[in-house]
Amino acid sequence: MSYTVNEQQQAIDDFLLYLAQEKRMSPHTVNNYQRDLKQFATYCGQLALPVWSLLKSSHIRQFISQLHRQGLASRSIQRSLSAMRSFYRYLIREGLADNNPAQAVQAPKGEKRLPSTLDVDQMSGLLDGTSQDTMIGCRDRAMMELFYSSGLRLAELAALDLRDVDFGSQLVHVLGKGNKQRIVPVGTQAIRALQSWLSQRDELGFFEQSALFLTKQGKRLGVRSIQKRLNYWGKKQGISDKVHPHRLRHAFASHMLEASGDLRAVQELLGHADISTTQIYTHVDFQHLAKVYDEAHPRAKKK
């Protein structure tokens, strides 16, 4: 069923009333939908398509492309598409359209926000400011050094066992996402911090425990406890925002990339899935990774 051009705006008005009264959407959302649909109606007028039921998915895609070319933010485009989908569901319900041409249209992916990071001086302040006078301080310093030294994910660090660290070769064996294993260099300062922690760990007497990082009760340190400890030291150093594990991982990636300019090597060290997929075609040998690491990481060199 279709309707005349004079009923086009009426359909929008009725839909907005339906959102406000029956769906009880907030005035802010209703106003946004009104603005989006008004813009969409203007576009349809330019195409000489005054009847909603005549629109096809191709028309919706053209409209979305136009918004994208105009520089509209991805979130705003996604909201506009959501408004059109909801509007057409309403039209179908009222018998004013037979299908929803917006349903099959994909919105552009939202921009990925890079996680906030710490510069080299902030990282040095955080690490060097973590007291090693206590067992907990030694453990926390070793954890943070390892996070920053090797770019580990939170779950990866929490799952480490004693056997995973090769002190002689200064390497750590990591089990990453999808049970994919990788070997990552460990900087000299991280090795020293780990050795200090292990001497304290031995005093706990839990020799049968395989976990690298333990609580005072001899249990494996969990991910939430690790997050809390990092945030504690961040606050103590006066760092704005929370110091969470991924922030240290991002600092590792940023500082390595700034110093080396070798994107592929950094991605390999991070253990990103897309690099694992392409490794069979473009092999990055470990000697090259180690060379990039030794030359680029701020805390890799001996002092």
Q: Point out the catalytic residue in the list 79, 139, 141, 153.
A: 153
272 a catalytic residue: yes
Distance between CA atoms of residues 78 and 59, nearest Å: 16
Residue among 109, 163, 281, 303 flagged as catalytic: 281
Q: Using CA atoms, how far apart are residues 183 and 150, in angstroms rounded to an integer?
A: 10
Q: Are 138 and 197 in contact (CB under 8 A)?
A: yes
228 is catalytic: no
Q: Which of 89, 192, 246, 264 is catalytic?
A: 246
Q: How far is CA 229 from the centre of its chain?
A: 21
* Annotated catalytic residue within 249, 255, 297, 299: 249
Is 288 catalytic? The answer is no
Annotated active-site residue 153? The verdict is yes
Amino acid at 56: K
Is residue 109 annotated as part of the catalytic site, yes or no? no
- Answer for the pair 147, 157: CB distance below 8 angstroms, yes or no: yes
Helix (H, G, I), strand (E, B) or coil at 167: coil
Burial 240-265 (b: 16+ CB within 10 A, else e): eeebbbebbbbbbbbbbeebbebeeb
Cα 11 from chain centroid (whole Å): 40
Q: Is 56 an active-site residue?
A: no
Positions annotated as catalytic residues are: 153, 177, 246, 249, 272, 281
